[in-house]
Amino acid sequence: MASLHLLSKVGDVRVDWDPEAVKIGDPEALAAIAEAERILAEARTTGATAFIVKDGEPARVMDEFDPQANQKVVVVPRIVGG
Amino acid sequence: MPAVLIPVVLVALVILGVLAVVCYVPRQQLAKPWNKFVDYVAAQYRAEQTARRLLRQTLGTDEYKRLEERGYLEVPSPSMPGRVYRIPYGPGRVAVYDNNRFTMSLCVQPTQWLPSGDVMLMHKLHIEANEEQYLSTANHLRFA
């Protein structure tokens, strides 16, 4: 199961989907993908960064969103010096 | 009137004032700000719980246990051997250790309020994947 987590004041906004279901065009999975893409696009307009997180591996910045990849994406709001 | 009675009179006046407000202001209007406050606190609590759950999932059981014991998370620098970033749980600066020696602290924050668990995850992800930009964004505090 793949997921997208947007860090926010409510903890995190989460969207889950099955990449296998996306491959066969399952409407529910496609709707989840559309929602994830919308959240990602909206966050990126405010300077957020998306990271791909895998167990036991260091995180890496996500350049392109791949709905068919079984991965966890964490979207972090823009950071500034304190 | 003896001076010693002045505080007593003042307290009595405050109590009378509160009673007057309670008697004359409709109950619903009094309950509104209180409910608002309770909702705010409950929402913050829920946000902290949710953030902690995501942090635990991301770190894994062992690392999360270490975090609970120590109160901070150590992230090794991906580009500088011997450098470790120590991220506190909750508010505070990220401490930088080079070869086990404290060298500076970094002040970085998100542009919007986030629960403590999410702030910690924010630091960890940026250090692991985006260290150069993280360092250029941070305010560096060095101690001679």
pLDDT grade for A11, boundaries at 50, 70 and 90: confident
A6: distance to nearest CA of chain B, Å? 10
- Give Cβ neighbours of residue A19 (< 8 Å, ≥ 6 apart): A2, A29, A67, A68, A69, A70
Determine which of A63, A79, A80 to mutate to test the interface with B (most B C-beta atoms within 10 Å).
A79
pLDDT higher than threshold 80 for residue A66: yes
> Distance from A1 to chain B by nearest Cα, in Å?
14
pLDDT digits (tens, 9 = 90+) for B89-135: 988 899 999 999 999 999 999 999 999 999 999 999 999 999 999 99
pLDDT for B24 equals 84
User: In angstroms, how far is CA A78 from the centroid of its own chain?
Assistant: 15
C-alpha to C-alpha distance for B98 and B62, rounded to whole angstroms: 24
CB B134 to CB A79 under 8 A? yes
pLDDT bracket for residue B31 (50, 70, 90): confident
Q: What is the pLDDT of residue B53?
A: 94
Q: Is the pLDDT of residue B34 over 90?
A: no
CB B64 within 8 A of CB B112: no
Q: Which of B112, B118, B126 sits opposite A12 (nearest CB)?
A: B118
CB B51 within 8 A of CB B115: yes
Work out the pLDDT band at B76, boundaries 50, 70, 90.
Answer: very high
**ipTM score of complex:** 0.92
Residue B144 has pLDDT above 60, yes or no: no
A5 touches chain B (CB under 8 A): yes
Region B14-27 average pLDDT: 87
Question: Hey, is the C-beta of A65 within 8 angstroms of any chain B C-beta?
Answer: no
Tell me, what's the pLDDT at B48? 94
* Segment (H or E) for B105: strand B101-110
Of the candidates A73, A77, A43, the residue with the CA atom closest to the CA atom of residue B114 = A77
Tokens of B100: 């086990």
> In whole angstroms, what is the distance from residue A67 CA to residue B11 CA?
66
- Region B72-98: mean pLDDT is 94
Q: What is the mean pLDDT of residues B48-71?
A: 94
Is B125 close to A51, i.e. CB distance below 8 A?
A: yes
Identity of the residue in A11, A76, A79 whose CB atom sits nearest the CB atom of B137: A79
| Predicted local confidence at residue B2, as pLDDT | 78
Q: Look at A7 and B122 and tell me if their CB atoms are within 8 Å.
A: yes
Q: Report the pLDDT value the prediction gives residue B91, as an integer from 0 to 100.
A: 83
Check if A57 contacts B (Cβ < 8 Å). no
Among residues of chain A, what percentage have pLDDT more than 70?
100
For residue B131, give Cα distances in angstroms to A38, A50, B4, B85, B91.
27, 14, 65, 11, 20
A10 Cβ under 8 Å from any chain B Cβ: yes
Burial A36-70 (b: 16+ CB within 10 A, else e): beebbeebeeeebbbbbbeeeeebeebeebebeee
C-alpha torsion angle, residues B45, B117, A19, A67 (rounded to 10)? 110
